[in-house]
Copies of this chain bind each other. A is one copy, B any other.
Amino acid sequence: MSIKIGIVGYGNLGRGVECAIAKNPDMELGAVFTRRDPASISIKTEGVKVYSYNEIKDFKGKLDVLIICGGSATDLPKITPELAKDFNVIDSFDTHAKVPEHFANVDAAAKAGGNVAIISCGWDPGMFSLNRLYANCILPDGKDYTFWGKGVSQGHSDAIRRIEGVVDARQYTIPVEAALEAVRSGSNPELSTREKHTRECFVVAEEGADKARIEKEIKEMPNYFADYDTTVHFITKEELDRDHAGIPHGGFVIRTGQTGWNNEHKHTIEYSLKLDSNPEFTTGVLAACARAAVKMNKDGQTGCKSMFDVPPAALSHYDGDYLRAHML
């Protein structure tokens, strides 16, 4: 039996979910919901309609799960609890500091409605979190390191665009290879922000703009760039569109630790991702979590979960016998 999925929001993430559904034999797209004019949106899946977000409650009981593709700043804190009353829901909430509050709000709504909600799905939070958790449980005496990149940071790109005289910009976060090697060696280094990552910026300036001033404003911007070694390249709009159109990302979660009665043995656990498309990989995780939410709800569970609470087998469309025979 097919899992009928609704997509809420049709930006980069929503489009990624649509692609992910097409890759999963047990899933089908039921509907797309938008706060824009539905007539203005054209989707890829034949025979599926786009509806106004205002109509979403009419779909109660007609969709197995909703994947909510909104921003963590304002969309998800409002929408996820609202929809968890009537649907199993998935989101990718990634404001780490506000997870406890979001979890509590979604938990109350999902329990009231008898639904399962899985929040903070993706790769960080998500797969990186899971790898931190597993590694901590296996090696309780050790040290965690997370590196991001090489990849595009949307937030940092936006920050550059807000500088006067900047037409467009793309910022890459790059892990420092020497820091990665030091961590892998098991030497447990203490690494400063500057030692872990560098930032590389490709900037399109207005004609006649003061490039020296723009570069200085970028490099001295507090929180975003001041604590990093930052490189700024000025390029044309054509070059930006040609060479920097993608949204690649990735990173590394490493834990080193020691075992033995006298700490005589060292171990390194490393998980890494190299992604051509950050949103499409993220939505691959969201789709698998949508399946798990439906299964867990059928098993009688309700309330808010994170990927920490999801038995890995629930993410798969294969049954236990198959998984034990082929993947264990």
Neighbouring B residues of A260 by C-beta, 8 Å: 19, 277, 280
Closest Cβ of chain B to A301, distance in Å, is 10
Known A321-B100, A328-B96; contact A276-B271, beta-carbon cutoff 8 A: no
Q: Is the CB–CB distance between A308 and B311 below 8 Å? A: yes
CA distance A22 to B262 in the complex (A): 11
Tell me if A's interface is mostly helix, strand, loop or mixed: helix
Q: Is the CB–CB distance between A328 and B271 below 8 Å? A: no
Give the residue among A133, A141, A184, A308 with the most B Cβ atoms within 10 A. A308
Known A19-B260, A138-B284, A280-B265; contact A133-B315, beta-carbon cutoff 8 A: yes
CA distance A311 to B118 in the complex (A): 13
Q: Is the CB–CB distance between B313 and A311 below 8 Å? A: no
Neighbouring B residues of A18 by C-beta, 8 Å: 261
**A23 touches B (CB below 8 Å):** yes
Q: How many residues of A contact B (CB 8 A)?
A: 69
Q: Is the CB–CB distance between B320 and A308 below 8 Å? A: yes
Q: Is the CB–CB distance between A288 and B138 below 8 Å? A: yes
CA distance A158 to B92 in the complex (A): 50
Q: Is the CB–CB distance between B281 and A273 below 8 Å? A: no
**A50 touches B (CB below 8 Å):** no
Which residue from chain B places its CB closest to the CB of A272 in the assembled complex?
B270
Q: Is the CB–CB distance between B268 and A327 below 8 Å? A: no
Known A133-B323, A284-B138; contact A270-B267, beta-carbon cutoff 8 A: no
Neighbouring B residues of A232 by C-beta, 8 Å: none
Among the listed B99, B125, B324, which residue makes an inter-chain contact with A100, where contact means beta carbons less than 8 Å apart?
B324
Known A259-B277, A284-B138; contact A325-B265, beta-carbon cutoff 8 A: no
Among the listed B125, B265, B323, which residue makes an inter-chain contact with A308, where contact means beta carbons less than 8 Å apart?
B323
**A269 touches B (CB below 8 Å):** yes
Binding site for B on A (CB under 8 A): 16, 18-20, 22-25, 44, 96, 99-100, 103, 120, 125, 127, 129-134, 136-141, 184, 259-261, 264-277, 280-281, 284-285, 288, 291, 306-313, 315-316, 320-321, 323-325, 327-328
In the complex, besides A134-B312, A311-B311, A312-B312, 10 extra interface pairs with C-beta distance below 8 angstroms are A18-B261, A23-B140, A96-B328, A99-B328, A136-B327, A137-B316, A138-B285, A267-B281, A270-B273, A306-B323
